[in-house]
């Protein structure tokens, strides 16, 4: 019997457009012989099933079902393609857990933890995972730019703590630019993380559960045309993503080991993509993404392709892992 798969996409954050692209790629790629796929748009003001004519049908949030011509449809599994909130921060995971519906991303706690850069890095540090020097600010805290710079140095990165896709990030070179950078970050989140600048090769490492095993995918080197890997570099083609990365075997081995260690320490499932910068030959963790981009041009699908895993195999495996 064909399984009904709800592909959730959209979300509440600045990343909703990227999420719609990811979700549509999953929709177009899934094997019709095995699955009946439904595109579910989740926004603050509406949850709807969108058919091929772009007609919208409301989702019953009581049991996450839809009705088409008085025919009630429930789902065997949810494919999570929501970047940012509420798909990457634990809310949807908790909701589906309560409804006992399998979903393709990690569990609620892992999603909430990894979405909060400060808390995730704090959990991993005791295990010897190297990270940049950092400083935290909550909305309303007194801001002492000199104290911040004394700890993290210049240049440094000012980031929203709980936001993805490089929104709200500024690279700060001068003390007088700190205040405006903080204001930019506060537009995305009420918590900010300020990190020291690590000057080195940046790589992205995909780790997934594949056919019951945790595997590390080929590594991608990030070469931004801009000052750093910002939103434009990530999504508007202003960067080069080179897979496999042009790094030594020793560096590749080190970062693969760390990425798998992070996945295992956090008891992850589903997709993950973590970012690292090499400093003095050692990988320093920047962040962990649990709902990475899934378009053909996105990093994780590129890595899967380099490992000989097609998009359809990648997506089907995610569903089968969730159902097992």
pLDDT, tens digit, 9 for 90 and up, residues 54-95? 999 999 999 999 999 999 999 999 999 999 999 999 999 999
Determine the pLDDT at residue 226. Answer: 65
pLDDT tens, position by position, 204-217: 999 999 999 999 99
Residue 290: helix, strand or coil by DSSP? coil
Query: Alpha-carbon distance 93 to 179, whole Å?
Result: 36
Q: How far is the CA of 36 from the CAs of 1, 75, 205, 221, 312, in angstroms?
A: 10, 10, 31, 36, 14
Q: How far is the CA of 9 from the CAs of 67, 150, 152, in angstroms?
A: 19, 42, 37
| Terminal C-alpha separation, the chain | 16
Determine the pLDDT at residue 239. Answer: 80
The residue written with tokens 């579910």 in the block is 40
Q: How far is the CA of 266 from the CAs of 20, 106, 211, 261, in angstroms?
A: 28, 10, 20, 8
**Does 50 score more than 80 pLDDT?**
yes
Determine the pLDDT at residue 39. Answer: 98
pLDDT tens, position by position, 138-193: 999 999 999 999 999 999 999 999 875 567 899 999 999 999 999 999 998 999 99
pLDDT tens, position by position, 98-120: 999 999 999 999 999 999 999 99
């Amino acid at each position: 019997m064909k399984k009904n798969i709800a592909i959730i996409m959209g979300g509440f954050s600045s990343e909703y457009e990227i999420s719609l692209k990811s979700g549509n790629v999953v929709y177009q790629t899934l094997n019709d012989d095995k699955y009946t796929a439904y595109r579910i748009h989740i926004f603050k003001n509406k949850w709807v099933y969108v058919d091929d004519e772009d007609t919208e049908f409301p989702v019953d949030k009581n049991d996450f079902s839809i009705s088409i011509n008085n025919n009630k449809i429930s789902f065997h599994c949810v494919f999570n393609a929501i970047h940012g909130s509420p798909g990457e921060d634990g809310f949807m995971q908790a909701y589906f857990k309560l409804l006992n519906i399998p979903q393709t991303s990690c569990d609620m706690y892992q999603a909430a933890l990894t979405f909060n850069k400060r808390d995730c890095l704090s959990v991993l540090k005791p295990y010897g995972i190297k990270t940049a020097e950092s400083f935290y600010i909550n909305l309303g805290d007194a801001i002492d730019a000199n104290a911040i710079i004394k700890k993290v140095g210049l240049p440094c990165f000012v980031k929203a703590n709980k936001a993805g896709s490089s929104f709200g990030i500024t690279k700060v070179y001068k003390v007088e630019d700190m205040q405006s950078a903080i204001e930019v970050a506060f537009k995305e989140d009420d918590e900010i993380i300020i990190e020291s600048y690590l000057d080195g090769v940046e790589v992205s490492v995909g780790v997934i559960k594949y056919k019951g095993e945790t595997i590390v995918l080929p590594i991608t080197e990030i070469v931004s045309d801009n000052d750093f890997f910002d939103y434009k570099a990530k999504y508007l083609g202003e960067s080069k993503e080179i897979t496999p990365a042009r790094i030594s075997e020793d560096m590749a081995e080190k970062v693969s080991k760390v990425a798998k260690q992070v996945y295992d320490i956090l008891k992850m499932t589903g997709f993950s993509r973590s970012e690292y910068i090499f400093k003095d030959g050692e990988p320093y963790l920047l962040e962990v993404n649990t709902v990475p981009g899934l378009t053909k041009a996105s990093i994780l699908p590129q890595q899967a392709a380099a490992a000989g895993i097609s998009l359809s195999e990648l997506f089907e495996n995610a569903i089968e892992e969730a159902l097992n």
